Amino acid sequence: MARTSSIIIIGGGVIGLSCAHFLMAKGADVTLIEKQAVGSGASHGNCGLLYYTDVLPLCAPGAVSHEIYRTLTGTSPLYIKPEADMDRLLWLARFALNCRAGQAEKAAREKYEILEYSAVLFADLLDTGILQCDFGKKGVLLVFSEKKYFENYKTTNDLLRRFGPGYRRLGRDEALALEPALSPNITGAWHNETDQHLRPEFLMAAWKNHLVRRGLTIEEKCEVTGICRKGQTIKEIETPRGRFSADAYVLAAGAWSAPLARTLELKLPVQPGKGYSITMGRPGQCPEIPCMLYEKNMVVTPWKSGYRLGGTMEFSGFSQTLNRKRLNKLLDGAGHYLKTPLGRPLVEEWTGLRPMSCDDMPLIGRAPGHDNLIVATGHGMLGLTLATGTGKLVTDLIYGVSPRIDPAPYSLDRF
């Protein structure tokens, strides 16, 4: 694909926009095709963390038994719809098989490489000043309500220190002094000063407008209904607006990448993981540091422009119906950790589908059996964080440039 001049990107989320950004910097003529509106999916209502310290995979030793216990006790943020979905059952089995100590350590090392790469590229991008997105650099505060989890986090932090400074332990009084918005009922917290945050819908709007001014062609409300190929080469894609053709194609449709890939007889081990968020005005006593409410697996993100509660993980297919019980879990969870958990006015109640891979690693690379198709999906809850590294890696692969990081760990050949 080294002589590529025209490229079609399927998917208008943060991964698609990042791919467009770096491809256009190489001089490519890029068309982005999105079934809804650019930035309307999981890139819109997430909690906006640039979570560069999140090197440990979800499929860690003990993860399955821990979630089974929490499910039985009614404290788990995870929900799996009980139905005979063989793709989901197979995905769950593969996830469980990846919950091994050796696999987790290997995945952490590999994830660290693309996290660090993305951090450098995102910093360069934000330094240009072209993307106004309510950006903040205050780290992340992991807040605990139960002493056993607070004390046990030291083991996790020792692992994190292999890849950076890790977190700083704060007793209850120290945590309250650093973040007065926390409830005095907490046990303690761990703080890192590395991670950052922004308002994702602001980023998407600014990035889209910037790329359109530079010449990006966008086709919104334009669902891909068919992919035509000759041998191992994709020739064109079909949509209700007609057919589009290019030299190369990037499949970056998030959770919808897997069903699209099936039309090409390509199986991607990616399942839609449903998340929820509630966006409000800032409460009277608003946190200044983004908080991860550890036992509830939810995030509280404050911005100058607002405030968001987000989290949960639901495996229930591609339905995007708002579940009131799941939203209430966010409201109840915040009440355990914050003095003033709710703000006014209520701005938005939202749900979106994250592309979850069975080994909690992104899928970035050439599609087996297809000469001019690159896949970029499976980023889970780190799509925003890994966007720049993914976009640059995709561009290097298309143009035959030797990437600055090893692309093998993210290749589709690993399955």
Tell me: the pLDDT tens digits for 235-247? 999 999 999 999 9
Task: Output the pLDDT for position 83.
Answer: 87
Residue 263's closest CA among 230, 233, 225?
225
**Is residue 134 a contact partner of residue 199, using CB atoms and an 8 Å limit?**
yes
If one counts every other C-beta atom within 10 angstroms of the C-beta of residue 250, the result is 28
Provide the pLDDT for residue 105. 85
| Res. 68 pLDDT band, cuts 50 70 90 | low
pLDDT at 2: 52
- What confidence score (pLDDT) does residue 345 get? 97
Sorting pLDDT into bands at 50, 70 and 90, what band is 71? low
Q: Which two tokens stand for residue 381?
A: 């809850």
The mean pLDDT value for 160-179 works out to 96
Average pLDDT value for residue range 149-157: 96
DSSP states along 241-294: TEEE--SEEEE--GGGHHHHHHTTT----EEEEEEEEEEEPPPSS--SS-EEEG
pLDDT average, residue stretch 20-33 = 97
pTM, to two decimals: 0.96
- Band (pLDDT 50/70/90 cuts) for residue 72 is low
Q: What pLDDT does 348 receive? A: 98
Which DSSP string corresponds to 307-375?
EEEEEEEEEBTB-----HHHHHHHHHHHHHHBSS---SSEEEEEEEEEEEETTS--EEEEPTT-TTEEE
Q: How far is CA 218 from CA 2, 6, 22, 400, in A?
A: 24, 14, 16, 25
Could you read off the pLDDT of 268-304 as tens digits, one per residue?
Answer: 999 999 999 999 999 999 999 999 999 999 999 999 9
63 pLDDT tier (thresholds 50, 70, 90):
confident
Write down the pLDDT at residue 225.
96
CB distance 318 to 353 below 8 Å = yes
- Which pLDDT does position 78 carry in this prediction? 85
Local structure of 21: helix, strand or coil: helix
Where b means 16+ CB within 10 Å and e means fewer, 57-95 reads bbbbeebeeebeeeeeeeebbebbeeeebeebeebbeeb
Q: State the average pLDDT for the chain.
A: 94
Q: What was the pLDDT predicted at 69?
A: 62
Distance separating alpha carbons of residues 384 and 365, to the nearest angstrom: 18
Q: Which helix (H) or strand (E) segment is 92 a member of? A: helix 86-97
Spatial distance between the Cα atoms of 336 and 185, rounded to a whole number of angstroms: 8
The half-sphere exposure of 280 on its side-chain side, counting CA atoms within 13 A, is 19
Q: What share of the chain has pLDDT > 70, as a percent?
A: 97
Distance from C-alpha of 180 to C-alpha of 159, rounded to nearest angstrom: 29
- 176-187: per-residue pLDDT in tens? 999 999 999 999
What percentage of the chain carries pLDDT values higher than 90?
89
For residue 45, what are its two tokens? 């209502």
